[in-house]
Structure 1
Amino acid sequence: MSSTDTTGVSHLGGSTIGFRFGRPYDPALPTLVLVNSFTTTADLYRPQFDDPALAGVVNLLAIEPYGHGATQAGHRHFTYWDSAVANLQVLDALDILDAFVLGTSQGGWIAARMALLAPDRIRGIIPLGTSMDFESPRSRELGCWDGIEFCSPSVDALAEPVGDDWVVPGEFVDAVLAAGLGDTVSDADRAFWRATYQATYTGDDGRHRLRVSTVNLRDRDGLHGRLDDVRCPVLWMHGTADAVYSVANAEDGIARFVNSPGAELRIVEGGQHFLSASDPAEVNAAVADFVKRWS
C-alpha cells in the first residue's frame, strides 16, 4: 500500500485531508485531481500512478473524500458538497491554481460539484461510471441499480456504537468489489482491498464514517438542475458492463451539460463500474488526450 500524505483545511471546523501525488509535483504540467469511489482509497488509482506515459502529461493528485482513507472531518457529518469544498482547499494548500478533475462513481459527482463551485479553477472534468441523478425511480427505469436497496441494510447495521476491536466486515468489501468490478477481481486484489478497508474502517469512528458515507450515497441530491452551469469541457467514460449505472443513463446525463464547450460520452466495451481499474489503458490514453486538448 502506498503512503498517503495529509494536509489541514479549514472546512467543517478544521479537517485533515488525505492526498497522494503520483510523483513529485511539476509546476510546468497541468494537474489532474483523482477522486475515488465509494469506500475505496487513493489506491483505486494505482493503474494511473503506474503509467509513465500519463505521468509525462499531467500531475496526478488523488484526494480522498470525507469518510474515506486518511481524510478526517472536524464535524461528524458531511456531504459530497463538503468534499468538493475540501478538495478546492487542498489545491489552495498545495498552491495549485487550477486543475482538471477525474472522478469514479461518486467521484464523478464530486468533480461536477467542484466545477460548479469554482468554474474559474476547474479546467475540465472526467466522470467515470457515474450518474448526475439522485437514486431516483427514473434512473432505475433507465437500467441503473437500486442504490436504496443496496445501501439501506448497511445503514441500519451500522447504526449502533461498536468497540475498538471492530473492523468492517469482509462481506461489505466483497459487495462493493462485486458492484465495482464484477467477476474480474483477482484473489490478490480482493486480499489487498480487504486489508485496506480493515485498516481504514476500524472502531466506532470507522463505523460512523462508513455509515455516513453510505447514507450520502443513498440519500444524495441530484445535479440535473445545475448541470447547465458547468462551463468546462466534459469527457464522460462509461463501461458497457457497468452493473451500477447504465449507458442509457450516461447518455441522458451527458446531454444535460448544454453549456460545456465540449461534452463527450465515450463508451468502453466490457468496461466495469470502476472503469479506471478495469480498463486503465483506455482510460489513461483518453485522459492524456483530453488534458492535452484542453490545456
Structure 2
Amino acid sequence: MSNGAQTVTVPHLGGSTIGYKLGKPYDPALPTLVMVNSFSTSVELYRPQFAHAGLGEAANLLAIELYGHGATRAAYEQFTYWDSAIANLQVLEALGIPRAFVLGTSQGGWVATRMAILAPDVIQGIVPLGTSMDYESQRSRDLGCWDGLDFCTPSIDALAEPVGDDWVVPGEFVDAVLGAGLGEAVTDDERAFWHTTYQQNYTGDAGRHRLRVSTINLRDRDGLHGRLDGVRCPVLWMQGTADAVYSVANAEDEIGRFSQAADTELRVVEGGQHFLSASDPDVVNAATVEFLGRWS
C-alpha cells in the first residue's frame, strides 16, 4: 500500500478501492485541487505540494492514485486512462466535493484533460505539467519528444510472465523512471525513498500485472487531439525546457488545440524537468496558487 494514502470505494470497474491523500480536512469554502501522479509513482510525488503553506492555504489538496498505482485496486484486471479519469470523478462525488481544479504531472496531465472532457460542469480548470495530448506518434517524435515505444516495450515484454510472491519491481526500472522524470540531479535520499516506495507498491504477481498494464497504457494510449474542443475550462500548461520526455515545441503546438477553453496559457520553465511538480515545486506551486485565485 502507498505510504500516506487513504482509500475510498467507488463503483467503477466492478468496484474499486482508490488510493488518495487529502492534505487537511475538506473545507467547502476553499477550491479543491486534485493532483494526479506521473507514471508508476504515487501520492508521494506531491510531497512538495502538501508541504507548501501557500498552496495548502489556497485550496483543499487531494492527490488521487491512478489505476495500477499506489493503493488503488479494481475488481477488473484491465484499465485505461479513461477509467482513471472516471474513477477520479467518482472519488470527488464520494468525498462530497462538487467541483475541482486538476493538476497532473506527465500522464496525470492527460488524465486531468480527460476529466475536463468527461465532466465540464465539475472541472473548473486544469494545470497539465510536462505532458502531451497526443498518442506516442511520429508527429510527437518529430517535435522532439521521446520514443515511448522504445522506452516501454522492453518492460512490457519483461513483465509478461507470472512471478512468485517474492517478486519486487527491479531497481533498474525505478532508476529509468527517475532518470526520465528528474534527470541526473536525483539525491541519494530521494532515490532511496522511491526505491522503497516502488518496492512496497509493486510486489508479487499482482504487482507485476499492475505495473505491466500501466506501462501498456503509457505506450498504447489514445491521443486527445480530436477531443480537446471538449475542454471548456481554463488551461495552464507548464513545460520544462529540460524535459527529456515531452518537448516545449510539442506543448506550443498543443496548447492551441484547446479551441473552446475559457483561457489557455503555456508557461515555459527554464531548466524544468519532466516531473515538473517535483523538480521545480516553487515555480509550479506559485503559478497554481495564482491560477486558483484567478478562476475559483
What range describes the TM-score normalised by the shorter chain of this pair? Answer: over 0.9
AA matched with 1:254: I
1:73 maps to 2:49: no
What is the rounded CA distance, in whole Å, between the counterparts of 2:49 and 2:165 in structure 1? 35
Q: Deviations over 1:260-288 (max 9, x none)?
A: 11100000000000000000000000000
Give 4+ residue runs of structure 1 displaced > 2 Å after superposition. none
Q: Secondary structure at the match of 1:225?
A: helix
What is the rounded CA distance, in whole Å, between the counterparts of 2:133 and 2:290 in structure 1? 24
AA matched with 1:185: V
Stretches of structure 2 lacking an aligned partner (at least 5 in a row): none
Q: Which residue of 1 aligns with 2:101?
A: 100
Q: Secondary structure at the match of 1:40?
A: coil
Q: Deviations over 1:230-285 (max 9, x none)?
A: 10000000000000000000001101001111100000000000000000000000
Q: Which residue of 1 aligns with 2:111?
A: 110
Contact 2:4 2:44 in 1 (8 A): no
What is the rounded CA distance, in whole Å, between the counterparts of 1:90 and 1:160 in structure 2? 33
Q: Secondary structure at the match of 2:8?
A: strand
Q: Which residue of 2 aligns with 1:193?
A: 194
What is the rounded CA distance, in whole Å, between the counterparts of 2:3 and 2:102 in structure 1? 21
1:43 maps to 2:52: no
Q: Which residue of 2 aligns with 1:291?
A: 292
Q: Which residue of 2 aligns with 1:167?
A: 168
Contact 2:240 2:274 in 1 (8 A): yes
Q: What percent of counterpart residues are identical?
A: 73
Alignment root-mean-square deviation, CA: 0.7
Q: Which residue of 2 aligns with 1:124?
A: 125
AA matched with 1:33: V
Q: Which residue of 1 aligns with 2:58?
A: 57
Stretches of structure 1 lacking an aligned partner (at least 5 in a row): none
Q: Which residue of 1 aligns with 2:231?
A: 230
Following superposition, the deviation at residue 110 of structure 1 comes to 0.2
Q: Which residue of 1 aligns with 2:16?
A: 15
AA matched with 1:126: V
Q: How many residue pairs get matched?
A: 295
Q: Secondary structure at the match of 1:281?
A: helix
Describe how 1:215-294 pairs up with structure 2 within 5 A: 215-294=216-295
Q: Which residue of 2 aligns with 1:84?
A: 85
Contact 2:246 2:274 in 1 (8 A): yes
AA matched with 1:293: R
Following superposition, the deviation at residue 205 of structure 1 comes to 0.1
Q: Which residue of 2 aligns with 1:141?
A: 142
Contact 2:4 2:43 in 1 (8 A): no
What is the rounded CA distance, in whole Å, between the counterparts of 1:207 and 1:8 in structure 2? 23
Q: Secondary structure at the match of 2:48?
A: helix
AA matched with 2:80: T
Following superposition, the deviation at residue 2 of structure 1 comes to 4.7
AA matched with 1:216: N
AA matched with 2:41: T
What is the rounded CA distance, in whole Å, between the counterparts of 2:117 and 2:262 in structure 1? 15
What is the rounded CA distance, in whole Å, between the counterparts of 1:267 and 1:111 in structure 2? 19
Q: Secondary structure at the match of 2:214?
A: helix
Q: Secondary structure at the match of 1:151?
A: helix
AA matched with 1:77: Q
What is the rounded CA distance, in whole Å, between the counterparts of 2:124 and 2:116 in structure 1? 8
Following superposition, the deviation at residue 184 of structure 1 comes to 1.4
What is the rounded CA distance, in whole Å, between the counterparts of 1:210 and 1:164 in structure 2? 15
The normalised TM-score by structure 1 is: 0.99
What is the rounded CA distance, in whole Å, between the counterparts of 2:214 and 2:277 in structure 1? 21
Following superposition, the deviation at residue 18 of structure 1 comes to 0.2
Q: Deviations over 1:58-113 (max 9, x none)?
A: 01000000000000011000000000000000001000000000000000000000
